[in-house]
Structure 1
Amino acid sequence: MDAFRHRALRLVAPVAALVCSLALVSGCSDDSSSDSGSATAQAAAPMAANDLQDDYTKVIKEVLPSVVQIQASSDLGSGVVYDDKGHIVTNAHVVGDEKTFQVTTANSETALTAKLVYAYPEQDLAVIKLDKVPDGLKAATFGDSSKVEVGQIVLAMGSPLGLSSSVTQGIVSATGRTVTEGRTGGGTGATIANMVQTSAAINPGNSGGALVNLDGQVIGIPTLAATDPDMGDSAAPGIGFAIPASMVKTVADQIIKNGKVTDSGRAALGITGRTVVDDDYKAAGVAVVEVKSGGAADKAGIEAGDIITALGDTDITTITSLSEALAAESPGDKVSVTYTRDGAEKTADVTLGEQ
């Protein structure tokens, strides 16, 4: 979180300087035409504001009916209607270990029943299916994640804190973030690559909903809000993350077609590991507890008891750092793995498998 704060402070100064420079330039002109120009600008401002408001209203009317509230026995979250057959995509941490759910659409207060099709905690995604598809159920349109740009205006739709059909507004703050979920509060512990960072408020209950651009396309599934350790791990305002639409479509299409994920696209070493500490009790690597027979590590000669300290040029100190390093790779990629065995440092070239 400190890194985010420092970046923000460094960025404010240049923007402020630019504003001051513009103010000085405009104040230097005594040309009478400036009056008419000012009047034109003043007239244009409310017109632009009205156009933007119209865009918001149009998008909300188009997309909100496709965003539902999902009630498990003890947890509540959101979901997005994926097709006209009643499939709904959401987060795996929303469905948890349960198999049946109550679903409420934006246009009705009557709860519908739904069953789990498949949950994929590794990517924190799941698909459920309505037992009966109501008339007028509208599937959302999913956009192209590769076209998402920093600065785009976005709307987050869902049921934060149980307030169904709620909408918050912000921008795309960054793309390509790799984020690891905690396991507390029902999180899956997944490490997810290429997430969309947004300033739109994301609160408990927003999970599984829709992050939408002004073209009415879902560009991501809101999943996480950053927390601030200095504030007792409360949500850090304006820092939320959404799983990109491309990954949502990849996973959902496989689940709907095959009943499970058959091609994850996630690189794996094929080990079970745990974080180890050095003599100063600082995280110092990942101890290999078990090696999957025939997996990537096994083929490269890595054994149980080895301690992994680097993947390529990335230092590995914890199991989380290993997961994040692997998230940046793809199955079939060749990487060097540095590890220690009986106190001696070794390196192996590994062709990564699939998770």
Structure 2
Amino acid sequence: MDVSRAHARTSRLLLALTAAACAAALVGGCTSAGGASAPERSTQAAAPLAANDLEDDYRAVIRNVLPSVVQIDAAESLGSGVVYDDKGHIVTNAHVVGQEKSFQVTAATGGQPVTARLVSSYPEQDLAVIKLESTPQGLKPARFGDSAAVDMGRIVLAMGSPLGLSGSVTQGIVSATGRTVSEGRTGGGTGATIADMVQTSAAINPGNSGGALVNLDSEVIGIPTLAASDPEMGGGSAPGIGFAIPSSMVRTVADQIIKDGKVTDSGRAALNITGRTVLDDDYEPAGVAVVEAPASGAAGKAGLKPGDVITRLGDTEITTITSLSEALASHRPGDKVTTVYVRGTATEKVEVTLGEM
């Protein structure tokens, strides 16, 4: 699946508004001896009551969370962010901050922009932390939920600044969990391969990146990051397929950056090689050639050398750098994995104890 970054600047906008309606299931009317149809009336009354309750839930979540969402303007991009603590730290995507060090931040609830500075960026997980020079009135830290408890079918809201429309909210459900998704490098993407992402049907549009994916308990369960694109539509976005970095990973990365100024423990498995995709005689991707394998790294310790071509990691066939990254994303540092590789004309295999990214 191809994915495209969900941030951009735009000067013209066409909005398509889609109405959603809730309807109660129809049941056969049971008429009393007097000809009254009481069950039918109660069904009709229950439908608007249920809709009103859901609307009230939505409004409560928006009131609770929107003061924790900001718009981030960088020199070449526009995205969103989430207030992480009461010291002015804001978590967002690495592809939103790009190579910039200074930003203009505006609260989703309005007000004047405030300058923020980069604390650190971690492109490998597409996360970054910036810090406000002063905290605008009305901003408050978000409450982060347990992403491990997120399951399919849960109603979620996505909050951010799609196409520069600050404080916008879309709704959907959790479509799936545990997705491993690779981000391209074109147009400012980080090229990250991210595991355990939350898939959602809530609209993730350019500018939503770095914002909040929220449950009905007003908890941030993820950071919207990627929208799927369909190559058959010329790379256009595939409606209703977006991905968010789970809140557990957001907290892990943000806490380290705030404490140490960088990520000191990624928890991400690695072969510790520099590699490149190689093609077979039919010009099809056929493996990953080892360009560098330091003796102190996982692959080097296992005996892999420059020139070896990795074709399988565990149960996964390896044809490209992306497929290797996705295979590693399902493992942890210290895991022992059988690795198949080609050296010259011989196919070999070796057990590699994975290192850390």
Confirm or deny a common fold (TM above 0.5). Answer: yes
CA distance in 2, matches of 1:56, 1:219: 16
Q: Report the Cα offset of residue 109 of structure 1.
A: 2.9
Match of 2:112 in 1: 110
CA distance in 1, matches of 2:154, 2:32: 37
Q: Report the Cα offset of residue 136 of structure 1.
A: 3.4
Match of 2:211 in 1: 209
Match of 2:269 in 1: 267
Q: Does 1:45 align with 2:43?
A: no
Partner deviation per Cα, 1:236-261 (whole Å, 9 max, x = no partner): 00000000000000000000000000
Match of 1:180 in 2: 182
Partner deviation per Cα, 1:16-51 (whole Å, 9 max, x = no partner): xxxxxx98xx56x86659932222121111111000
Q: Report the Cα offset of residue 132 of structure 1.
A: 1.3
Match of 1:317 in 2: 319
State the AA in 2 paired with 1:132. S
Matches within 5 A, 1:62-77: 62-77=64-79
State the AA in 2 paired with 1:246. S
Query: Equivalent residue of 2:37, what SS?
Result: helix
CA distance in 2, matches of 1:292, 1:40: 73
Match of 1:302 in 2: 304
Match of 1:162 in 2: 164
Question: Residue 170 of structure 2 contacts residue 202 of structure 2 at CA under 8 Å; is this kept in 1?
Answer: yes
Count of residue correspondences? 333
Match of 1:344 in 2: 346
State the AA in 2 paired with 1:236. A
Match of 1:84 in 2: 86
Q: Which runs of 5+ in 1 are unaligned?
A: 3-21
Matches within 5 A, 1:179-198: 179-198=181-200
CA distance in 1, matches of 2:336, 2:37: 65
Question: Residue 200 of structure 2 contacts residue 241 of structure 2 at CA under 8 Å; is this kept in 1?
Answer: yes
Partner deviation per Cα, 1:182-240 (whole Å, 9 max, x = no partner): 11121100000000000000011000000000000000000000001111101100000
CA distance in 1, matches of 2:122, 2:295: 23
Normalising by the residue count of structure 2, what TM-score does the alignment of the two structures yield? 0.91
Query: Equivalent residue of 1:275, what SS?
Result: strand
State the AA in 2 paired with 1:87. H
Partner deviation per Cα, 1:121-176 (whole Å, 9 max, x = no partner): 00000000001123332000000001101000000000001110000010000000
Distance 1:292 1:31, change over 3 A: farther
Question: Residue 66 of structure 2 contacts residue 109 of structure 2 at CA under 8 Å; is this kept in 1?
Answer: no
Partner deviation per Cα, 1:258-295 (whole Å, 9 max, x = no partner): 00000000000010111001001111100001112301
Q: Which runs of 5+ in 2 are unaligned?
A: 3-24
Identity %: 73
Q: Does 1:326 align with 2:298?
A: no
Structure 1 segments (4+ residues) deviating >3 Å: 29-35
State the AA in 2 paired with 1:170. G
Could you say which structure has the higher helix fraction? Answer: 1
Which of 134, 143, 155 aligns to 1:132? It is: 134
CA distance in 1, matches of 2:207, 2:345: 48
CA distance in 1, matches of 2:37, 2:337: 64
Distance 1:185 1:32, change over 3 A: farther
Match of 2:11 in 1: none
Matches within 5 A, 1:91-102: 91-102=93-104
Q: Report the Cα offset of residue 340 of structure 1.
A: 0.6
Greater relative CO, 1 or 2 (CA 8 Å, sep 6+): 2
Normalising by the residue count of structure 1, what TM-score does the alignment of the two structures yield? 0.91
CA distance in 1, matches of 2:32, 2:179: 50
Which of 37, 51, 54 aligns to 1:35? It is: 37
Matches within 5 A, 1:14-33: 32=32
CA distance in 2, matches of 1:135, 1:206: 23
CA distance in 2, matches of 1:98, 1:347: 44
CA distance in 1, matches of 2:39, 2:280: 68
Q: Report the Cα offset of residue 329 of structure 1.
A: 0.2
Match of 1:229 in 2: 231
